[in-house]
Chain A
Amino acid sequence: MKRRVVIIGGGVAGMQTALRLHAAGIGSVILEKDSATGGKLRDWHKLFPTFTPASEVLDPLRRAVGAAGIEVRTGAEVVGLDGRGAVLADGTRIDGDAVVVATGFTLFDARIKEEYGYGIYDNVLTSADVERMLNEGTLSMKNGDRPRRIAFLHCVGSRDEKVCQRHCSRVCCVTGVKQAMELKERFPEADVFNFYMDIRMFGSGYEEMYREAQVRHNVHFVRGRISEAAPTIDGRIQIKAEDTLTGRPLRMSVDMLILLVGMRANDDNRRLADSASLTLAPSGFVQPADPFLHSVESGAEGIFCVGTVTAPKNVGETLAEAAAAADAVADYLKNR
């Protein structure tokens, strides 16, 4: 009898897991709540540190899923699960021999940090807006002008007790560096300032990229967190920060303020966790059985976790983890 694994989430984590399972001769069904697979990567422009277009990762994955004949159900929102399947919002039950949770993360809603003016002032954007606009080729100021001065703010919705997001989202630092370089290439005449608290360049090639942004692209890095943004009379945005390396308050007006929004846990992690007795970390992400030998196992029988549902990760880490998850699932099915 052919075994079938229920994979919740059709982003890179879910698709890669399905493909690796297929390679091991195990069938699966992908449940995707959106109208298409690909997850957040669909709206992403290029990937750090190599500036690889997101489509160069996503398209091969999607093609392979199609070629392998893996069943994909779109518009399928999961409301409950156990080790033998998942329940959809319309009450349908999808049965399987194991379940892989690959539901990803939610982008922090920058409107919550009201003092930064997102949704209030034109030309305050999030990193996700920038990726989308780069994809569409529409990146400019609201009135169509080219920005002369751009500020990036790191750690929006990360490491912030005031919005109950204590964790570090890891990838925003390098995204900020990447986007600073992309904007500098697009608007060479513009001055770009990155406001940061700590720059965490954890991946291979990241630190080199940071250095390149500084030296080759002349991106200014200011160590200080912007405290508030206000409109100026001529329609620009005035930002305030402390330049902590000189110990003096700093204020400047910019044409564009880009908020590097963090990755937060999905709101429905709680509901899914309650239905299948999964453990949630204080951050709201699903806690794997242990971070070393069982990092893709949820601790609940037959339920596996992969990708950013357990913690913020980059695309490469997620793809690698998906292979590990497929391996763990195959192992589980063999021994059952």
Chain B
Amino acid sequence: MAAINWGYGISKPRAIDIDRNNLRRSDEILHEMPELQSCIGCGSCTAVCTAGNLTEFNFRKVHTLVRRGEYEGAYELMNRCMLCGKCRLVCPRGINTRGVVMLIKRKLGDF
């Protein structure tokens, strides 16, 4: 039986569909930087972030989405980072945040 089309499918579904998302690049990123998985989402990084206070950039959100296989726009957002490193000084999990920014840019961008 074909699925019923209710006609509401104009915009892309908002759900993060882990079944459809390809986690290969996310796995590669976590393989190089396993400690990223230890993020407890406390938001300290975004709280101190100059770029995050001025723009939509939210380091925590971007890397969390990347870990879920949502890569779209991640490279462009990470480019807003000034790499100043304040986030690394406040991260309670000891994540090498600047390394994460550069790793995500490398894996999802063009260098």
When C-beta atoms are compared, the residue in chain B nearest to A165 turns out to be: B92
Interface string of A237-278 (1 = CB under 8 A from B): 000111110011110000000000000000000000000000
Also in contact, A225 and B49, with CB within 8 A (given A155-B92, A242-B60, A244-B60): no
| B34 CB within 8 Å of chain A | no
Also in contact, A249 and B44, with CB within 8 A (given A159-B92, A161-B94, A162-B90): no
When C-beta atoms are compared, the residue in chain A nearest to B95 turns out to be: A161
Name the one of A160, A225, A247 contacting B58, with C-beta atoms under 8 angstroms: A247
Q: Which residues of B contact A249 (CB under 8 A)?
A: 46-47, 49, 52-53
A96-143 contacts to B (CB < 8 Å): 115
How near does chain B come to A75, taking the closest CB pair, in angstroms?
38
Q: Cβ of B43 and Cβ of A225 under 8 Å apart?
A: yes
Distance between Cα atoms of A159 and B60 in the complex (Å): 18
Q: Which residues of B contact A162 (CB under 8 A)?
A: 89-92, 94
Q: Cβ of B43 and Cβ of A115 under 8 Å apart?
A: no
Also in contact, A244 and B94, with CB within 8 A (given A228-B48, A249-B49): no
Q: Cβ of B92 and Cβ of A241 under 8 Å apart?
A: no
| A333 CB within 8 Å of chain B | no
Name the one of A225, A248, A250 contacting B44, with C-beta atoms under 8 angstroms: A225
Q: Which residues of B contact A241 (CB under 8 A)?
A: 43-44, 47
User: Could you say which of B42, B44, B93 has the most chain A C-beta atoms within 10 Å of its C-beta?
Assistant: B42
| B41 CB within 8 Å of chain A | yes
Q: Which residues of B contact A223 (CB under 8 A)?
A: 43
Q: Cβ of A242 and Cβ of B92 under 8 Å apart?
A: no
How near does chain A come to B96, taking the closest CB pair, in angstroms?
11
Interface string of B86-110 (1 = CB under 8 A from A): 0001111110000000000000000
How near does chain A come to B57, taking the closest CB pair, in angstroms?
10
How near does chain A come to B35, taking the closest CB pair, in angstroms?
10
User: Could you say which of B43, B45, B52, B60 has the most chain A C-beta atoms within 10 Å of its C-beta?
Assistant: B43
| A224 CB within 8 Å of chain B | yes
| A204 CB within 8 Å of chain B | no
When C-beta atoms are compared, the residue in chain B nearest to A162 turns out to be: B92
Interface string of B35-68 (1 = CB under 8 A from A): 0000011111111110011000010110000000
A152-190 contacts to B (CB < 8 Å): 155, 159-162
| A227 CB within 8 Å of chain B | yes
Distance between Cα atoms of A112 and B15 in the complex (Å): 42
Q: Which residues of A contact B89 (CB under 8 A)?
A: 162
Q: Which residues of B contact A242 (CB under 8 A)?
A: 42-47, 52, 58, 60
Distance between Cα atoms of A250 and B45 in the complex (Å): 12
Q: Which residues of B contact A (CB under 8 A)?
A: 40-49, 52-53, 58, 60-61, 89-94
Q: Which residues of A contact B (CB under 8 A)?
A: 115, 155, 159-162, 197-198, 223-228, 240-244, 247-250
Q: List 26 A-B contacts (CB under 8 A).
A: A115-B90, A159-B40, A161-B92, A162-B89, A162-B91, A197-B40, A224-B42, A224-B47, A225-B42, A225-B44, A227-B47, A227-B48, A228-B47, A228-B48, A241-B44, A242-B44, A242-B45, A242-B47, A242-B52, A242-B60, A243-B43, A244-B60, A247-B58, A247-B60, A248-B58, A250-B47
